[in-house]
Amino acid sequence: MVFSSIIFLFVYLPAVLLLYYVTPRKGRNFLLFVVNLIFYGWGEPKLVVLMLISTLINYVSGLFIGYMKNEDGSNKKGAKIVLIISIIVNIGLLGYFKYAGFIGNILHFKVGDIPLPIGISFYTFQTMSYTIDVYRNDARMQKNFITFGTYVSLFPQLIAGPIVRYSDVEEELMERHENLEQFTEGVKIFMIGLCKKVLLANQMGKLWDIMRADVSSGFLGSWVGIIAYSLQIYFDFCGYSEMAIGLGKMFGFDFLKNFDYPYISKSITEFWRRWHISLSTWFKEYIYIPLGGNRKGLPRQIFNMFVVWTLTGIWHGANYNFILWGLYFFVLLVLEKSFLLKLLKKAPSVVAHIYSIFLIAIGWVIFFFEDMNELRAYIGRLFVPTDGLISHDSLVNVIAYLPLLVIAIFACTPIAKNVYGKIENKKWSWIPDTMLCILGLIVSTAALVSSGYNPFLYFKF
């Protein structure tokens, strides 16, 4: 079940909200735990068991670590052993379901068809962050299995993030104070995310499919194609994250934002501070800093960055292009850290911005094409205009999608947000808010009903 589906919008969500708010506060975590399992099991009921096993393993590990360390830290060595075992088990489960086939191909032995559980990369990282934080004393162990299970399986962010650290929602899991203001803000954020997903991401996805299929689209046609894909993946993932954040607020949770207008960046370094913030933060907190970060000299820092970006690529998928994608950004970030950032700061803003967008777009080409031959061919089309500037068919399609393309590019900037900020605190601001939410729901519903095209890119990650 996805947020941008008719059954979720008009059946599941209203029913869950009604049940949630008529349930006494003490029973709300249990209710959420049950409906979370229903939500996850809707698409793959058999793999609910895997998520429950992962939850149980980390719940028990947290108890052992918490009791072993206790207040005087009397058995820190034992706690560390439990932590290491839990990490190995977590990585083992993730590795088996996500990477066994890939490793089998490398080692030339056949692996059977292993289903990829939706959201396994996200909830595995969340459960690992819990046990690590308990070991570090950054979070208290959770003795109640239902409360911990609610954290792991919380449906707003279960299948595609943002990756929520236990310490960020620890207090809210124990005691939440839902209110009308938070709920209405959640509805507004959810509707913004829904419109981004349905009205922009889906349409940019259609344009990308058209331009990619036309191998003779020409130099400009190929660039329009990859720009469309860049917009699709942004609005797809950003929209879903905003829907998750909005849903969280409806149930009394405050999740941290996951995107901060990444396409206005003037460097690759800045881009990765703005894109998929929860993933970048996770790798920084649990890999980069424990390896030494930037505290042990430049050579060690570069090595640490290499490890982080190799793992970032691997996290996204079991294929060579994802590893190449991670290493591509590793090289760019090392170059920026070495000298490019200084040059970019001195350069005109427009130059720095074009530099960033150009390299980000190339990165998305690498990210999309799992077949290396297709990857080389498409990159060739971007740099060598062997098929002319743009084909007639491609030009017709670009003109047809041009209004939406312009709107999507405009929506990548904070202009609309800044304009809205001028009326946000007015007493009458609820009127345009309400009208826009209703209009957004109507138009998005019409788009979903009239088109069967509603992919979600990050399901496979």
Q: Return the pLDDT at 453.
A: 65
pLDDT confidence tier of residue 372, bands split at 50, 70 and 90:
very high
Average pLDDT on 368-384 reads: 91
pLDDT confidence tier of residue 197, bands split at 50, 70 and 90:
very high
Contact of 139 with 170, CB cutoff 8 Å: yes
Q: CA–CA separation, 105 vs 100, rounded Å?
A: 9
Q: Return the pLDDT at 327.
A: 96
Q: Return the pLDDT at 421.
A: 79
Q: Return the pLDDT at 458.
A: 58
Helix and strand totals (H; E) in the chain: 23, 0
Q: Return the pLDDT at 452.
A: 66
Residue 449 has pLDDT above 90, yes or no: no
- Beta-carbon contacts of 71 under 8 Å, excluding residues fewer than 6 positions away, are none
Q: Return the pLDDT at 455.
A: 67
- With CA atoms as reference, report the closest residue to 329 among 347, 352, 356, 309: 309
Q: Return the pLDDT at 461.
A: 56
Which is higher by pLDDT, 297 or 105?
A: 297
pLDDT confidence tier of residue 81, bands split at 50, 70 and 90:
very high
Tens of pLDDT, residue by residue over 233-249, are 999 999 999 999 999 99
Q: CA–CA separation, 461 vs 455, rounded Å?
A: 13
- Beta-carbon contacts of 283 under 8 Å, excluding residues fewer than 6 positions away, are 308, 311, 312
Question: In one letter, which amino acid is 95?
Answer: G
- With CA atoms as reference, report the closest residue to 25 among 147, 130, 145, 149: 147
- Of the listed ranges 10-24, 58-72, 271-285, 349-363, the least confidently predicted one is 58-72
- Of the listed ranges 133-142, 299-308, 349-358, the least confidently predicted one is 133-142
- Of the listed ranges 226-235, 247-256, 390-399, the least confidently predicted one is 390-399
Average pLDDT on 309-319 reads: 90
Backbone phi, then psi, for 9, in 5-degree steps? Answer: -65, -35
The most confident of the ranges 92-101, 125-134, 214-223 is 125-134
Q: Return the pLDDT at 414.
A: 92
Q: Return the pLDDT at 386.
A: 77
pTM: 0.91
Average pLDDT on 99-108 reads: 78
Sign of CA dihedral 163, 167, 168, 171: positive
Tens of pLDDT, residue by residue over 37-77, are 888 888 677 788 888 999 999 999 999 998 887 755 567 88
Average pLDDT on 416-445 reads: 85
Q: Is residue 316 annotated as part of the catalytic site, yes or no?
A: yes
For the chain, give the percent of residues with pLDDT over 90. Answer: 55
Which is higher by pLDDT, 115 or 336?
A: 336
Mean pLDDT of the chain: 89
- With CA atoms as reference, report the closest residue to 253 among 174, 176, 190, 166: 176
Average pLDDT on 245-269 reads: 93
In the chain, domain spans: 6-176, 182-460
Q: Return the pLDDT at 426.
A: 79
Residue 368 has pLDDT above 90, yes or no: yes
Q: Return the pLDDT at 389.
A: 84
Q: Return the pLDDT at 369.
A: 93
Q: CA–CA separation, 409 vs 3, rounded Å?
A: 24
Catalytic residue among 177, 316, 353, 392: 316
